[in-house]
Amino acid sequence: MIVEAGHYALTLALGLSLLQCAIPFWGARSNDPVLMGSAVPAAIGVAALVGFAFVALLIAYVTSDFTVLNVVENSHSAKPMIYKITGVWGNHEGSMLLWVLILALFGAMVAASRHLPVRLKTNALCVQAAITIAFLVFILFSSNPFTRVEPPPAEGQDLNPVLQDIGLAIHPPLLYFGYVGFSMTFALAMAALIDGRVDAVWARAARPWTLLAWSFLTLGISMGSYWAYYELGWGGFWFWDPVENASLMPWLAGTALLHSVVVMEKREALKVWTILLAILTFSLSLLGTFLVRSGVLTSVHAFAVDPARGVFILAILSIFIGGSLAVFAWRAPLLRGGGIFAPISREGALILNNLLLASACATVFLGTLYPLVLEAFTGEKISVGTPYYNLTFLPILLPLMLVLPLGQALAWKRGDLFAVVQRLGALLGVSIALALGLIAFTAGGPVLAPLAIGLGAFLLLSGAGEIWTRSHVRGRPVSVAFRRAVGLPRSAWGSALAHAGLGITVIGIAAQAWSSETITAARPGTQMSVGRHTARLDSVRPRTGPNYTEDVVTLSLWRDGRPMGTLETTKRLYPARNSPTTEAGILTRGFDQIYVSVGEIGTDGSVGLRLYDKPLVLLIWIGSLFMAAGGGLSLTDRRLRVGVPVRARGGVAAQAAPAGGAA
């Protein structure tokens, strides 16, 4: 009965979303506060109904209700409880329900917010409801997770084995909060365009939602990268898989949007560019949904293989992207520019930063979609991989590493580049010395990697340097500087932390130029070298898990004659799907890791092994945590929470009446 109730709740949510979209919108056009006020309870009601439906599906998984087709195809009674729960979104139908749940939760959060102008909130909730309607129709008519099966089987088919990992419990929800979070910025942008009122008040309203979405997307990409690193057994952190790229593109566009919103809030400049970025960022999120759900890709990430679903999502993509760009084209001529600024200024540096980010996003977009378009029109299959991105993506990002520290040190409106270079000269000198020292120490080795490490160090040091510059007063004791630093806006600390995190990640990525790989076949007692370490295969033994069997390979490790410990890598077989997987063995020392994955185990006792020595590899993900923490810290800045209503009160009448032009 709970399954039918969940299905009915989704149907009610669709009906309520239709009312949320139509009635408040009419109220905003007719200046009726009662009709506009109906958006708030409607949004909260939709979130409650979709939440109930999600809980209903969760109960079906937890109780192994094999009368539900979705549970049959993606669960098993012997599966550990944690994976029964995560299996809810480890498939197409369940993950789309999670998507809509997060979408509805964002709508409810906006409805509960008291810091948005009434008219802006109403129009944004109408746009958000339109998005909810599209995906609820898709779920109910094309991807229903509550479909019954008759007669029910005695056992389920189990979840894809590579998805039975704790990383799956974290990665998709974080990623979806990022993807869907940008829908809120999109809704606010469309709401502002509908009324023709795009100003600093709008930027102040949009900035927290952009920060929230960007922080979650950063965490989601990072968690997905680490999950693929240790679960898929290939030893890399990024494969340039099209579905990986689908998450990177909105992150790059969202990063540009975040910086552009700051300029608009401070100087009321870049209005057209900021609104366009808000549209493009969410459009790229929808594009990622299409790539994963349409069946055009074969990937561990791709769940759907039904072309009808792909056509449905493509229709949603076309309607929202085409419709939003049409509204943008209609209203863009009315958007007047804000404050004038010199090319050498913080605004100018942020524009250059945005151009580099947009160019990087364009290269990823081209590399991702060109093979698909070529195959669709000619039938020819090509692969665009690491060499393409090394030649196009990296040359764009390297100057960005230099622009960021210089840009954040420039003054608004008009800056002095020479003074900034003088102020950052010591930090830049340390970074250059580090790069040159690495080139000398690794003579004959990679050249770009030391340069990237130098730029990463410059980013890291300049983050701390910016806080020191803003808090230190010459001739005053350090205690005064400390008190001034504590009193700085949290957004300043958040920005410094995020930029430092990017520097840490760059250092970790660049350090992989010195990683070592050894591929060998060994028997118990065999010793082998991998980079700076020596490994010995100790044993191979069978072991039984709750819903799998596995062969456990144990190795001992030494470095310079000193024992470092042991690690286990396993080869698993899941009988329900007759599917093998590899669980990598990882030994961590500091920020370094020794990584081992097992290949085929021969009948003669030989074991295929792939071993890696990965220096500083943990910095890749530690840096991303710093970036997300920087975004979270900025969100706690009091100015982002109370600024909007203060500035809006003076324009209550203006909020209630349609605007003929842009502010």
Query: 567-622, pLDDT tens digit by residue?
Result: 999 999 999 888 888 899 999 999 999 999 998 888 888 899 999 999 999 999 99
Q: Which two tokens stand for residue 230?
A: 């240790």
Q: pLDDT tens for residues 386-435?
A: 889 989 998 898 889 888 888 888 888 888 888 888 888 889 999 999 99
Reply yes or no on whether the pLDDT at 166 is more than 60: yes
The average pLDDT across 308-313 equals 78
Within 10 angstroms of residue 390's Cβ, the number of other Cβ atoms is: 12
Strands 516-522 and 527-530 turn out to be unpaired
The average pLDDT across 68-89 equals 92
The 3-state DSSP class for residue 553 equals strand
What is the pLDDT at residue 474? 67
- Range with the lowest mean pLDDT among 89-98, 396-405, 542-551, 631-640? 631-640
Give yes or no for a cis peptide into 151 (omega within 30° of 0). yes
The structure tokens 């947009």 sit at 358
Instruction: Quickly state the pLDDT bin for 338 (edges 50, 70, 90).
Output: low
Within 10 angstroms of residue 472's Cβ, the number of other Cβ atoms is: 16
The average pLDDT across 624-645 equals 77
Q: Which DSSP letter does residue 411 get?
A: P
More confident residue, 657 or 209: 209
What is the pLDDT at residue 408? 83
The average pLDDT across 104-123 equals 92
Q: State the Cα–Cα distance between residues 298 and 309, nearest whole angstrom.
A: 15
The 3-state DSSP class for residue 82 equals helix
Reply yes or no on whether the pLDDT at 276 is more than 90: yes
Instruction: Quickly state the pLDDT bin for 230 (edges 50, 70, 90).
Output: confident
The average pLDDT across 77-98 equals 91
Reply yes or no on whether the pLDDT at 41 is more than 70: yes
What is the pLDDT at residue 651? 40
| Structural contact between residues 575 and 548, judged by C-beta atoms closer than 8 angstroms | yes
Q: Which residues of 175-210 are buried (b: 16+ CB within 10 A; e: fewer)?
A: bbbbbbbbbbbbbbbbbbbbbbbbbbbbbbbbbbbb
10 Å CB burial of residue 78 (0-12, 13-18, 19+) is middle
Reply yes or no on whether the pLDDT at 548 is more than 80: yes
Percent of residues, the chain, with pLDDT higher than 70: 93
10 Å CB burial of residue 250 (0-12, 13-18, 19+) is buried
Instruction: Quickly state the pLDDT bin for 288 (edges 50, 70, 90).
Output: confident
Name the most confidently modeled range: 182-191, 233-242, 306-315: 182-191
Q: State the Cα–Cα distance between residues 225 and 251, nearest whole angstrom.
A: 14
Give yes or no for a cis peptide into 145 (omega within 30° of 0). no
To the nearest 5 percent, what fractions of the chain are helix, strand and coil?
65, 10, 25
Amino acid at 349: A
Instruction: Quickly state the pLDDT bin for 334 (edges 50, 70, 90).
Output: confident
